[in-house]
Amino acid sequence: MGAIWSLLGYPDTGRTDDPDPVTELTSRDRYLIKSSYQAVRKTPTDSGVALLNLYFKNHPEAKQLFPFKDVPDSELSQNKRYQAHCNSVIYGFSAVVDAIDDPDILVPILAKLGETHVPRKVTKELFMQLRDTIIELFSSFMKPEEMDAWKKTLKVAFDVITGAMK
């Protein structure tokens, strides 16, 4: 039946009874992640600035770990180094979203993210605070069903990220 709907131009929105054995995300969860992420992907710099601005507002101590720590908050959004970092954060998320259907690619991407942040003194607690900030930001423009999928996805992602931090 799904093939018929696809031929008629209706997207396959996924099933809820087919959890992936590694991530436990259903095809419906993965569909919701990919479709809801399009708004973020469309403007990566602005999306990243919104995320990190909220993160630093909620957790100002985290800003001290970044190379733009001495830039006043009022100037941060216009700072090109900050914008570049914000853009790269969203590109990192894009890599995760793009690999969401293939755990053999997804898990190493997430593990590497955790490993590469250890030398920068990023703690598991700071990553969990970032997860909570993502949920707060995304909740401001995503539907409840999309947020349920994001919460599941972020739990899996941040468990892998923090598990790789040695």
pTM: 0.88
For 38-58, how does the pLDDT look when each residue is reduced to its tens digit (9 = 90+)? 999 999 999 999 999 999 999
Residue 2, token pair as written in the block: 């799904």
What is the mean predicted confidence (pLDDT) over 87-96?
A: 96
Residues 6+ apart with CB under 8 A from 24: 152, 156
What is the mean predicted confidence (pLDDT) over 56-80?
A: 96
Residue 10 pLDDT greater than 90, yes or no? no
* Residue 42 CA neighbour count, 13 Å, CB half: 5
Mean pLDDT taken over the chain: 91
The pLDDT value recorded for residue 12 is: 62
Select the more confidently predicted residue: 7 or 26.
Answer: 26
For 111-166, how does the pLDDT look when each residue is reduced to its tens digit (9 = 90+)? 999 999 999 999 999 999 999 999 999 999 999 999 999 999 999 999 999 999 98
The pLDDT value recorded for residue 166 is: 83
Task: Give 6's pLDDT tier (boundaries 50, 70, 90).
Answer: very low
- Domains of the chain as residue ranges with CATH: 35-163 (1.10.490.10)
Task: Give which of 151, 157, 129 is closest to 51, Cα–Cα.
Answer: 129
Residue 149, token pair as written in the block: 């999928």
Residue 33 pLDDT greater than 70, yes or no? yes
The pLDDT value recorded for residue 11 is: 58
